[in-house]
């Protein structure tokens, strides 16, 4: 065991004071950061009133919206006449078409009609005097022969009785609304109805094999148009999903992001040389341009879009202009800072030969900054594809506007899901491509 005397200990303390005489910040810095974080979290909980917010939130709507993203419903309505007849009606734009005959609707010999909501476990039988709802292992008859619908027997928890209406909630499968003279059923299906061909298409409701056969070698369905051309037109002009309009708007968003980013880069590039202190030794000009860049990027792209839509009207021009202004400020700042951090030795070497300023910049500066500039520009372009979607919602055109229109109806959530998936795919492709190009330019390996 080695014993260290006082002199040796004093020598060690003198040599390594940072270990033996730590400052207050070094000793208690971590604890202070932890305490500050906890205090700020408590302040945020109080400021946003999170307990009340979570207590009053409509969490049930989350499941409703998510289910509507991946499903659609059919709403047959059964009207009971005074003579006991039952008339079946569908909404005007039913996904089943103009003359539906679904296999889940059965006409019984006694004149009643049975609708299978979810297999045999959930069904509704409609007759002139009563409606029987079967769900959760029980069958509940509702008498409709008197002035108001009346549940016969105990009322289950999934059924609500009103003065003139009885509502049965069957979960994701759908629901049933029962009144004296009519029964309205909402039956939900997984999937997207008529995604390829709408109800007006000549190919609607045909099996896949038959459609392929008609396109490949079948007789023409329209004398003046091939079946392949007809199928493409029906898909592109699908009235329910509007594929043509959606893809056109998506292309507008991509072009809007590309044009705004390109113009911003072309404008910021020469201005960055004037803003860089080591390139242009004019402090007043440097500061004016740098504050100009700060102004352009401090105003959010969404605000620029609002200004420009008021000036030029809604459309992609306003969106491209908003991206252009924002990117001029952002790229101008990035470019000028990149120029101020270059190695001056190559530049000074070329200057010593008496070369002109243009040649000095070309051979002394450009080889150092081009990979960095292109990398930053590609990253901004990738980011602007997402930004163009957001500013489209305020009238700047593109798929963002169409997405907002679909959300405002609060009914076309499957169309919202379709457009969101398209946006995610485009962002993923641009992200992957941009990442690969950046690593290639920088000479690094992509992971």
* Cα distances (Å, whole numbers) of residue 204 to 39, 199, 230, 320: 62, 6, 12, 39
Average pLDDT, the chain: 86
- Digit-coded pLDDT (tens) for 304-339: 988 888 888 888 888 899 999 999 999 999 999 888
395 vs 301: CA distance, rounded Å? 13
C-alpha to C-alpha distances, 124 to 11, 58, 83, 87, 139, nearest whole angstrom: 92, 29, 21, 15, 9
Q: Looking at the structure, do residues 154 and 250 belong to the same domain, yes or no?
A: no
Q: Within this chain, do residues 134 and 250 fall inside the same structural domain, yes or no? A: no
CA distance 62 to 410: 13
* C-alpha to C-alpha distance for 38 and 30, rounded to whole angstroms: 13
What is the C-alpha to C-alpha distance for residues 322 and 16, in angstroms, rounded to an integer?
56
Last-in-domain residue among 167, 190, 213: 190
**Which of residues 145, 161, 190 is at a domain's end?**
190
| Residue 160: band (very low, low, confident or very high) from pLDDT cuts 50, 70, 90 | very high
- 377: CB partners within 8 A, 6+ apart: 261, 265, 331
pLDDT value of position 134? 92
Spatial separation of the C-alpha atoms in residues 330 and 373, rounded to whole Å: 12
Q: Where does the pLDDT of residue 12 fall: very low under 50, low under 70, confident under 90, or very high at 90 and above?
A: low
Residues forming beta bridges with residue 385, ordered by sequence position: none
Same domain for 302 and 381: yes
Burial class (CB within 10 angstroms; exposed 0-12, middle 13-18, buried 19+) of 318: buried
> Is the confidence at residue 196, as pLDDT, over 60?
yes
Would you say residue 292 lies in a domain? yes
Please check the confidence at residue 227 and state whether its pLDDT lies above 70: yes
Would you say residue 347 lies in a domain?
A: yes
Domain range for residue 85? 69-190
Residues 6+ apart with CB under 8 A from 209: none
Asked whether residue 424 is domain-assigned, the answer is yes
pLDDT tens, residue by residue, 399-413: 888 888 888 877 788
Do 159 and 288 share a domain, yes or no? Answer: no
Rounded Cα distance, 163 and 148, in Å: 7
Q: Is the pLDDT at 388 greater than 60, yes or no?
A: yes
Shared domain for 290 and 431, answered yes or no, is yes
* 4 domain-assigned: no
Structural domains of the chain, count: 2
Closest CA to 133 of 161, 109, 97: 161
Contacts of 389 (CB under 8 A, 6+ apart): 253, 398, 399, 400, 403, 423
- Same domain membership, residue 414 and residue 339: yes
Q: What does the pLDDT average to over 30-53?
A: 91
> What pLDDT band is residue 261 in, cutting at 50, 70 and 90?
very high
Indicate the range of 18-22, 119-123, 334-338, 411-415 predicted with least confidence.
18-22
Between 114 and 351, name the one with better pLDDT.
Answer: 114
Domain assignment present for 78: yes
**279 and 384 both lie in a single domain:** yes
Residues 309 and 184 in one domain: no
Q: Is residue 351 part of a domain?
A: yes
| pTM exceeding the 0.85 threshold for the entire prediction | no
| CB of 396 closer than 8 Å to CB of 255 | no
Residue 3 pLDDT:
61
Distance between CA atoms of residues 33 and 378, nearest Å? 37
Span 211-228, average pLDDT: 88
Query: pLDDT tens, 330-385?
Result: 999 999 988 888 877 777 787 777 777 777 777 777 877 888 888 888 888 888 88
More confident residue, 102 or 9: 102
165 and 249 share a domain?
no
Six-digit token string for 40 = 């700020």
Q: Are residues 179 and 314 in the same domain?
A: no
Judgement on whether residues 278 and 365 belong to the same structural domain of the protein: yes
- Which helix H or strand E contains 186, and what residues bound it? strand 182-190
Q: Are residues 290 and 362 in the same domain?
A: yes
| Domain of residue 270, CATH code | 1.10.3720.10
Whether residue 88 is contained in a domain is answered as yes
Note whether residue 216 is domain-resident. Answer: no
pLDDT digits (tens, 9 = 90+) for 203-219: 888 888 998 998 888 88
């Amino acid at each position: 065991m080695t014993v260290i005397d006082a002199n040796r200990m004093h020598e060690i303390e003198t040599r390594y004071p940072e270990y033996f005489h730590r400052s207050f910040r070094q000793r208690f810095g971590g604890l202070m950061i932890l305490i500050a974080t906890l205090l700020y979290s408590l302040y945020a909980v109080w400021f946003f009133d999170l307990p009340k917010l979570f207590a009053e939130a409509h969490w049930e709507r989350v499941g409703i919206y998510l289910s509507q993203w991946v499903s659609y419903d059919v709403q047959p309505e059964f009207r009971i006449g005074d003579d006991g007849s039952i008339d079946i009606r569908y909404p005007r734009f039913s996904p089943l078409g103009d003359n539906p005959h679904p296999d889940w609707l059965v006409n019984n010999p006694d004149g009643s009609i049975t609708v299978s909501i979810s297999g045999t476990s959930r069904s509704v039988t409609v007759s002139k005097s009563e409606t029987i709802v079967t769900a959760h292992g029980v069958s509940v008859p509702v008498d409709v022969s008197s002035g108001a619908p009346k549940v016969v027997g105990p009322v289950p928890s999934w059924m609500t009785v009103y003065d003139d209406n009885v509502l049965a909630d069957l979960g994701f499968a759908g629901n049933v609304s029962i009144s004296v003279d009519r029964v309205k059923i909402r039956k939900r299906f997984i999937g997207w109805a008529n995604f390829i061909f709408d109800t007006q298409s000549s190919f609607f409701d045909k099996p896949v094999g038959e459609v392929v056969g008609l396109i490949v070698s079948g007789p023409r369905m329209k004398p003046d148009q091939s079946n392949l051309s007809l199928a493409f037109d029906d898909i592109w002009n699908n009235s329910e999903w509007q594929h043509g309009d959606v893809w056109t708007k998506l292309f507008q968003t991509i072009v809007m992001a590309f044009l705004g980013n390109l113009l911003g880069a072309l404008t910021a590039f020469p201005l960055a040389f004037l803003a860089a202190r080591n390139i242009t030794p004019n402090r007043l000009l440097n500061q004016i341009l740098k504050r100009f860049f700060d102004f352009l990027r401090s105003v959010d792209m969404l605000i620029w879009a609002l200004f420009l839509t008021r000036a030029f009207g809604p459309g992609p021009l306003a969106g491209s202009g908003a991206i252009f202004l924002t990117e001029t400020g952002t790229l101008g700042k990035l470019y000028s800072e990149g120029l101020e951090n270059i190695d001056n030795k190559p530049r000074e070497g070329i200057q010593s030969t008496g070369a002109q300023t243009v040649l000095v910049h070309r051979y002394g500066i450009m080889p150092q900054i081009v990979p960095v500039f292109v990398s930053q520009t590609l990253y901004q372009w990738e980011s602007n594809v997402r930004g163009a979607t957001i500013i489209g919602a305020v009238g700047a055109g593109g798929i963002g506007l169409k997405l907002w229109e679909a959300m405002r109806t609060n009914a076309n959530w499957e169309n919202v899901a379709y457009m969101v998936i398209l946006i995610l795919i485009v962002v993923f492709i641009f992200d992957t491509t941009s990442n690969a190009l950046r690593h290639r330019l920088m000479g690094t390996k992509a992971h």
